[in-house]
Amino acid sequence: MDIRTEKPEDVEAVRNINILAFGRENEAKLVDRLRGIASTFSFLAVQADRIVGHIFFSLVAVEGKCSSNLSILGLAPVAVLPNYQRQGIGTLLIQHGLKECGRSGVQAVVVLGHPDFYSRFGFIPASRKSLKCEYDVSDEAFMVLELENGALQDCSGTVKYRSEFSLCE
C-alpha cells in the first residue's frame, strides 16, 4: 500500500471513491469545491496502481478567543472503496495525513466522527479544549487532536468550517 499526495489526474478517481464509499455525491462534491483552496491536503491510498482510498483536510476557523496564527484543519472526508474497507486503509490514510499535517506546521485537527474510531489516533472531545462545533452534534462526536503540544491552551470558541461544507446537504 502506497500513500501519496493527490495529483491533478486523480480527480475523477477521487470523485468515484467518495461516491462509492458514501453511496451519494455529497462528499465528492465537497472535495471538488474545496480542491485547490490554500491550506488543504489530499492524500490517496494506492494498491497495485489502483487508487482505493482518499482523505482530505481543509482549513477551519475558530470564532472566539484564539491566537491569530493558530493553524487548525478539519479532517473530512475519509473514503475507501467498499471492497477495500475494513482492511486498515482508512487507518493508514489518517496516520499519514496527521503526520504530514504536523510536518507542515498545522497545530491541531478537528473531526466529526465516531469516537471509538478516532480516539485510537489520540482525538479527544473538543469540549475538553473549550471548542465546540458550529453544527448541532453530540459532544463525543466532535473531536480534536493537538499536533503541537499546548497549541489550544489559550483557545476557546466555536469551530467554523468553510462555507463549502454548508452546500453538502
In CATH, which of 3.10.450.50, 3.20.20.70, 3.40.50.970, 3.40.630.30 is domain 2-167?
3.40.630.30
pLDDT tens digits for the chain (169 residues)? 999 999 999 999 999 999 999 999 999 999 999 998 878 999 999 999 999 999 999 999 999 998 778 899 999 999 999 999 999 999 999 999 999 999 999 999 999 999 999 999 999 999 999 999 999 999 999 999 999 999 999 999 999 999 888 765 5
Nearest-angstrom CA–CA distance, 18 and 51? 11
Domain boundaries, the chain: 2-167
Place of cell 487532536: 145
Instruction: Quote the pLDDT of residue 168.
Output: 56
- Strand residues in the chain grouped as ranges (E): 2-5, 41-47, 50-59, 61-65, 72-80, 108-112, 124-125, 131-133, 142-146, 156-160
